[in-house]
Amino acid sequence: MILADDRYEQKVIPYAARNETMPHRLATMSSRKGGAFLLATIIVALGLWTYQRVFAQPELTQIDASINLSRVSPAFTDPDELRRLINQYESRTGEFTTPSDYLSLGALYLEAGRTTGDLSRYQAAEDAYRKADELRPQDLSGRLGIARAQFAVHDFIGALATVEGVLEQAPERIDALLIRSDVRLAIGDLEGAASALSVVASQFPDSPAVQVRQAELAWLDGDHETARILAQAAVTSSVSLIPRGRSWYENFAARISFDTGDLLAARRFSDLAAEHDPDSILTNLMQGQITAAEGDVGGAISFYQRAAEVVPEPKTLASLGDLFILLGDDEAADRQFDTAETIIDLGRSLGTAYDRQAVYFLADHDRNPGLAVELAEAELAFRSDPQAHDAYAWALHTVGRCDEARRASDRALANGFRSAPAMFHAGMISAALGEDGRAIDELMQALAINDQFDPIQAEAARSMLASLRG
């Protein structure tokens, strides 16, 4: 990462020296200590938490050429070329103090963080952007880079303050409006997100970067058909991108298709993504989810294992554990769950206590549900999107606080948001409260959206329905 001495001269640790693959690091370190604790330590130190929800927000680097956010646009750069560019710009910034070089280095660090899950890359990006801003404060690009880095590590309050400061000076700046839209979407201000995005969309209606954001807003509003149309349009609009870039949009369309119950379209888009970037974390996660829904448990495990080899984050490990349960291998499942729980515990000590993945994992698997409530409450202090309330509702349900869970679930669904998991949670809460009719309706809605939304919970929904109907 970039360090500064008392004179704030930049000292750069060569990227190649710290860019060993995760499997190599784990193999080296595990020979000394071994076990889930060490695995978790390494993962957390490398920024596991940044993948809280892989598809939650379109990455800020996913902007097509018509919206030039920086002097270097490294999104989807080949990994080897990315390393070469980082080494080149680290060397340049060690010899010169050109603001443009720091802007370029910051953008490259952001891409490295996106593709590896290494949280330290985002801090390095912020440091580089701060140096660019110090050298040329009249150029707002440095401050926008800082906002992107803050957003990447879910410092939403900091990112919002930074970008609002930029917009006070340049209210029509497109890249700043996109960042404002992303941050407001992340914290649950859907109206604010839509307002900022509408200005960009009026100028770039066919940009895939705009279309995926519009699709995400439509999905959160419960307009599944519009979300699918926009996600598919983004795939069409991205055809001029390099294959790795097209893969990102195809994975997004696959996720929207899956979440809205069109499994055939999800498979089609996911297979296209696999053709264009078979080694992508997103591709393997999406392929795993779809393959599990199709009933191929062993095949799904293979995809999740590939993703976990790169970024073994709790959600991936939880999915692996669930699939091992379906195979009857409880020992293998427990290994995944134990590692995920240790990661969460260590993450809290490093200040990542508001990880939504942790809330769902702990609540789903009855592992310290009290902590799940605590983490959900902490997140609600600065995020109030529908899924934040759903996560809180589910955590409250697991500790028996069902009246409060009902209120939280109702708030999650108040503005039209509908997802199969959220409706499943609502139905189980209704069942716990003895509201059988409502429970039946909500569980049926969950399965109507996607009757294979989760290999464990979809079956639980069917079992509960059978029980309620007598």
Residue-wise pLDDT for 12-31, tens only, equals: 333 333 344 333 333 333 33
Helix (H, G, I), strand (E, B) or coil at 386: helix
**Are 108 and 79 contacting, i.e. CB atoms less than 8 angstroms apart?**
no
Give per-residue pLDDT as tens, 312-336: 889 999 999 999 999 999 999 999 9
Instruction: State CA 70 to chain mean position distance.
Output: 23
* 285/277 Cα distance (integer angstroms): 13
Report phi then psi at 2, rounded to 5. Answer: -80, 130
- Whether 352 contacts 49, CB under 8 Å: yes
For 66-93, give one letter per residue: b (16+ CB within 10 A) or e.
Answer: ebebbebbbbbbeeeebbebbbebbebb
Q: Cβ distance 157 to 384 under 8 Å?
A: no
Asked if 271 and 254 touch (Cβ cutoff 8 Å), the reply is no
Residues with Cβ within 8 Å of residue 5, at least 6 apart in sequence: 11
Q: What is the pLDDT along the chain (470 residues), one digit of tens a residue?
A: 222 322 223 333 333 333 443 333 333 333 333 454 444 433 333 343 333 333 334 443 333 333 333 333 335 667 788 889 999 999 988 887 789 999 999 999 998 888 777 778 999 999 999 999 999 999 999 999 999 999 988 899 999 999 999 999 999 999 999 999 999 999 999 999 999 999 999 999 999 999 999 999 999 999 999 999 999 999 999 999 989 889 999 999 999 999 999 999 999 999 999 999 998 889 999 999 999 999 999 999 999 999 998 888 899 999 999 999 999 999 999 999 999 998 888 777 655 544 788 999 999 999 999 999 999 999 999 899 999 999 999 999 999 999 999 999 999 999 999 999 999 999 999 999 999 999 999 999 999 999 999 999 999 999 999 999 98
pLDDT of residue 349: 66
- Write out the residue limits of the CATH 1.25.40.10 domain(s) in the chain: 364-468
- Superfamily covering domain 364-468: Tetratricopeptide repeat domain (1.25.40.10)
Q: Is the dihedral of CA 230, 232, 238, 243 positive or negative?
A: positive
Length in residues, the chain: 470
String of DSSP letters for 337-348: HHHHHHHHHHHH
Contact 412, 395 (CB under 8 A): no
Give the whole-angstrom CA distance, residue 321 versus residue 85: 38
- pTM score: 0.83
Per-residue buried b or exposed e for 248-274, using 16+ beta carbons within 10 Å of the residue's own CB: bbbbbbbbbbbbbbbbebbbbbbbbbb
Q: Which two tokens stand for residue 292?
A: 């599990």
Full DSSP string of 178-193: HHHHHHHHHHT-HHHH
Largest Cα–Cα distance in the chain?
A: 76
What is the reported pLDDT for 78? 74
Q: pLDDT tens digits, residue range 259-315?
A: 999 999 999 999 999 999 998 889 999 999 999 999 999 999 999 999 998 888 899
Element (H, E) at 95: helix 79-95
